[in-house]
Amino acid sequence: MTRPQDLLCPKPEGLYCAPGDFYIDPVRPVARAVITHGHADHARAGHGTVLATPETLDIMAERYGLGFAASTQAAAYGEASARDDVEVTLVPAGHVLGSAQAVVRWKGLTMVVSGDYKRRRDPTCPAFEPVPCDVFISEASFGLPVFRHPDDREEIARLLRSVAQFPERCHLVGAYALGKAQRIIRLLREAGWDAPIYVHGALERLNALYERHGIDLGPLASATAGKKADFEGQIVIAPPSATQDRWSRRFPDPVTAFASGWMQVRARARQRGVELPLVISDHADWDELTGTVDELRPGELWITHGREEALARWAQMHGVPARALALVGYEEEDDG
Amino acid sequence: MRAFAELLDRLSLTASRNAKLTLVRDYLRQTPDPDRGWALAALTGDLSFDAAKPAFIRKAVEERMDAQLFWWSYDYVGDLAETVALVWPARPGANREPELSEVVDALRGASRAEVQRLIEGWLDALSPTGRWALLKLMTGGLRVGLTARLAKRAAAEMGPEPVPVAEVEELWHALHAPYEDLFAWLEGRGERPSSENPGRFRPAMLAQAIDEAVDFAKLDPADYAAEWKWDGIRVQAVNEGGMRRLYTRTGDDISKTFPDVVNALQAEGVIDGELLVMRDGQVASFADLQQRLNRKSVDAKLLAGFPAGVRAYDLLAEGAEDTRVLPFAERRRRLEAFVAKEASPRIDLSPMQPFESWPDLAALRADPPAGDPQIAEGLMLKRWDSIYEAGRPKGPWFKWKRDPFLIDAVLMYAQRGHGKRSSFYSDYTFGTWTLDEAGARVLTPVGKAYFGFTDEELKQIDKYVRDNTIERFGPVRSVRAEPHHGLVFEVAFEGLQRSTRHKSGVAMRFPRINRIRWDKPPGEADELATLEAMLARMEGR
């Protein structure tokens, strides 16, 4: 009888696969790693070999330089690779460009590690593909019933209404540099905003990378050059930390916006001095988390990080045995 | 409901007054009657529902979802209405989002049992922000950081030709939500609604601060009357056509909080004066008045312990006659007769302070005689020939405040500001020296201030805070504050009160940064004992 814990088990470095001798998203350097996506807390430099999608490898090279791992192996979505007698297939997770779920098969047992994921449409990456499995290993960043992300088009419409209402001010939108920023830009384009979008220097390389992968971001301009008055009525996108930093003083009376699932909670917005919270998240909200478990009906649900207890309780109430792995090292604040 | 919800959402996170004004004004322009009228009533605090009690909401939500999951959610969010708005498990169905006016009509007409069913239906139909707005509306007190006056100002400015806010204020108590006649007038589609409404509020006349260096040279002392500016709250006491009302200077009706004052109004007319706690004709401290403010109900003990009265400054109407068009000298003469006719210990006259020259008056201000003048905030100067004009016209009235109290205190904590100042550490907690239980000399916080400095000084303090941070707690930083290393502020304030909420036991009124003492070693800043001595002197007046 093959037990799931013989295939994957939590270790301080991350989720470990003993029969294939590799880790998934390890938080410390290891000999063999499978990386689900390019966010810094999941994709770290210094591993021996790294298996990931070509987009994720590209993102890691952009961030850490070409020597980020001793060797790399690119696996396109759906393409199975062997790690000893374990088969690993990367399947779209819908989180950011290149993001994947790791489907791990061994002796008739299928386990799916979701990585970070969402279920709704994202113009910058392919949609999440549900894979039937014995064990689904889910994230739970937004694993509380208070998190119900609204339609992102409505959030963008609110932003554009505010731009029209305050033409003498600049709208400074905090967005995580990988994924969120490009998604916001795409959504603005889809909503008809054709003007140049001003970006913080920290976003430029990743924007260029997205463009190379066929995501058309439209006209972009540097937010670092120019006079104060040039930014009146304009939209500036910057990493969340920069919106409150001294850097932001170059803009005319900015309306500080922040695109994040955490913005659903008013106190969070107030605490960060956010005037226009945009509830746009790259993670599954409560309905997506529970809906996915319901759709897959796995034999067991494991939960890697986030608010595990609430999702575990929900799963058990709905007849799916669940356990929290309480993996540490995955940030939850800025990449919401 | 959607536009109203978005308005409340934006207001609750907007710090800038101008931005709030824009948000409300645009809403009023873009929203049809009667929704916008109900929204304005909600924003000015003129809308409340008796049948809608929030207590059942929690029960309703727990009937629909697991109690443990609800508890975890509430624990995380921290606010019941917001939690319910977010977690509400909507039953699918063909629910249509209600309009604001539908909600208001239904809540006004419905019985308590009906209300519960209605609200559950609305919660099913609305988005989380809509639910949040609905729950705030139902429970009253929107608490979105908007004063009634600012809401009225937004209304005054909504039309193609803005009108002064005073005009809207004067009309206000003659109007009824949803104010269709008001909007018609503001939009140039209708007549100005009649303000002939007995018991209404008259917009207050306010004084400019005098600029000693410039103004006195231009002013003839013979043209001006002087009187003390008492340290209470400015009010308007109205007794007209059988209606007796007490209003704040912004038109808030506080009659229910001060039945003792309202019942004392016998003669028909309108007095402008200062609301004070008075015992045997002697004015008590502002702290005593605070015991009476912001209370929904008052009991006999409070009324006896903190008896309130009005010290009269002006007469705005006598019988049916509007006296505001008369010169101050004439109004004053009539006021004296009017107060004599009232013959109540709760209504007395603010005495005139005769003077010959500006230096005379300066001497009086610097050294007020014993008794009540010790509590005055300063002097008021009023032109004898000035009519009573709403707003703050330049010239007819001046206030000449007493010099503030000053101490040197040490910066201890700095907090990020809001809006324009969100990239600056602009809110400062400062302390003075005292001895702790072990006998060591330590700083204890005595106040907090966030203005009084220039933009350039703000940049310098901000840099100082960043360079001298010890610890960070969310938006707050603790700053090095040692005898030989730290930043000293000269803090100006208007008065001191005892406080049980502050560890130091004192609370400052209206503190602000008067000067930054880059030169002064923190060890030489003031002691808490200095403040305690000031307080003892103020109380022993």
Q: How far is B417 from chain A (nearest CA, A)?
A: 8
User: Tokens 């937010």 label which residue?
Assistant: A223
Among B13, B22, B474, whose Cβ lies nearest the Cβ of A277?
B13
Task: Work out the angle at residue B149's Cα, subtended by the Cα atoms of residues B145 and B150, and round it to the nearest 5 degrees.
Answer: 55
- pLDDT for position B541: 54
d(CA A48, CA A190): 41
DSSP of B312-335, one letter per residue?
EEEEEEETTEE-TTS-HHHHHHHH
- Is B83 touching A (CB cutoff 8 A)? yes
Amino acid (one-letter) located at B10: R
- In angstroms, what separates the C-alpha of A127 from chain B's closest C-alpha? 25
Residue pair A243/A198 in contact (Cβ under 8 Å)? The answer is no
| Residues with pLDDT less than 70, chain B | 51-54, 94, 540-541
For residue A335, what pLDDT band results from cuts at 50, 70 and 90? very low
Span B344-402, pLDDT tens digits: 999 999 999 999 999 999 999 988 888 888 888 899 999 999 999 988 888 899 999 98
Torsion of CA B274, B278, B283, B286, to 10 degrees: -70
Task: Read off the tokens for B206.
Answer: 């306010």
Q: What value does the mean pLDDT take over residues A8-20?
A: 94
Is B97 an 8 Å CB contact of chain A?
no
Give the residues across from B400 on adjacent strands. Answer: B379
Q: What is the crossing angle of helices B35-43 and B2-13, to 10°?
A: 30
A241 vs B: CB within 8 A: no
Asked if residue A265 lies in contact with residue A336, where contact means CB atoms within 8 angstroms, the answer is no
What integer pLDDT is reported at residue B72 of this predicted model?
A: 93
Q: What is the mean pLDDT of residues A198-222?
A: 97
What CA–CA distance (Å, rounded) separates A280 from A40? Answer: 20
Residue A230 pLDDT > 80: yes
Q: What phi, psi does A180 have (nearest 5°)?
A: -65, -45
Quote the minimal CA–CA distance from B69 to chain A in Å. 6
Contact B418 A146 (CB under 8 A): no
Q: Is the CB of residue A283 less than 8 Å from the CB of residue A336?
A: yes
Question: What pLDDT does residue B540 have?
Answer: 64
Predicted confidence band at A332 (pLDDT cuts at 50, 70, 90)? low
C-alpha span between B4 and B8 (Å, rounded):
6
Residue A336 has pLDDT above 70, yes or no: no
Q: What are the φ and ψ backbone dihedral angles of B213, each rounded to 5 degrees?
A: -70, -30
Whether chain A has a CB inside 8 Å of the CB on B67: the answer is: no
CA-based nearest distance B13→chain A, Å: 5
Q: What is the pLDDT, as a whole number, of residue A244?
A: 82
Q: How far apart are CA A83 and CA A80, in angstroms?
A: 10
Contact across the interface for B422 and A307, Cβ inside 8 Å: no
Rounded to two decimals, the pTM is 0.80
Nearest CA of chain A to the CA of B149: how many Å?
22
| Cβ atoms B356, B318 nearer than 8 A | no
Instruction: Concatenate the DSSP letters of all residues of A43-67 into one string.
Output: S-S-EEEEEE-HHHHHHHHHHH-GG
Q: Do A145 and B22 touch (CB under 8 A)?
A: no
**B263's tokens:** 């019942």
A249: left (phi over 0), alpha (psi -120 to 50) or beta: alpha
pLDDT for res B51: 63
In which residue are the tokens 């090095």 written?
Answer: B480
- Comparing CB atoms, the residue among B23, B68, B78 nearest residue A313 is B68
Give whole-number Cα distances, A326 to A4, A36, A307, B26, in Å. 17, 18, 9, 48
A64 shares contact with chain B (CB less than 8 Å): no
Q: Hey, which residues 294-353 in chain B have their CB within 8 Å of chain A?
A: none
pLDDT band at residue A334 under the 50/70/90 scheme:
very low
Cβ separation B423–A246 shorter than 8 A:
yes
Cα R_g (chain B), whole angstroms: 27
**Residue A6 · residue A18 · CB < 8 Å:** yes
pLDDT digits (tens, 9 = 90+) for A99-154: 999 999 999 999 999 999 999 999 999 999 999 999 999 999 999 999 999 999 99
Helix runs in B255-326, H state only = 259-264, 286-290, 300-305
Residue B199: predicted pLDDT: 86
Contacts of residue A333, Cβ cutoff 8 Å, sequence gap at least 6: A262
| Contact indicator for A143, A310 with CB cutoff of 8 Å | yes
Residues 6+ apart with CB under 8 A from B367: none
CB contact under 8 A, A271 and B475: yes
Residues of A in contact with B14 (CB under 8 A): 275
Question: How does the average pLDDT of chain A come out, rounded?
Answer: 94
Report CA torsion sign: B227, B228, B234, B238. Answer: negative
Count other C-beta atoms under 10 Å from residue B346's C-beta. 20
Among residues B248, B246, B250, B269, the alpha carbon closest in space to that of B259 is found at B246
Amino acid identity of residue B445, one-letter, is: P
State how far residue A162 is from chain B, nearest Cα, in angstroms.
Answer: 9
Residue B420: list chain A partners with CB under 8 A. 253
CA distance A296 to A133: 7
Q: In whole angstroms, give the CA distance from residue B308 to residue B258.
A: 7
Q: A150 and chain B: CB distance < 8 Å anywhere? A: yes
The answer to whether A16 and A25 are in contact (CB under 8 A) is no
ipTM of the complex: 0.93
Q: Does residue A171 surpass a pLDDT of 90?
A: yes
pLDDT at A333 over 50: no
For residues B124 and B118, what is the distance between their CA atoms, to the nearest angstrom? 10
**pLDDT tens for each residue of B105-154:** 888 887 777 888 888 889 999 999 999 999 999 877 788 889 899 999 99
Q: What is the pLDDT of residue B98?
A: 92
Nearest CA in chain A to B473: A271
Greater model confidence, B340 or A1: B340
CA proximity to A280, closest of A190, A93, A110, A152 = A152
Q: Work out the widest C-alpha separation in chain A, in whole angstroms.
A: 70
Domains of chain B by start residue, with CATH? 2-139 (1.10.3260.10), 208-401 (3.30.470.30), 405-538 (2.40.50.140)
Please indicate whether, in this complex, the C-beta atoms of B418 and A273 are within 8 angstroms of each other: yes
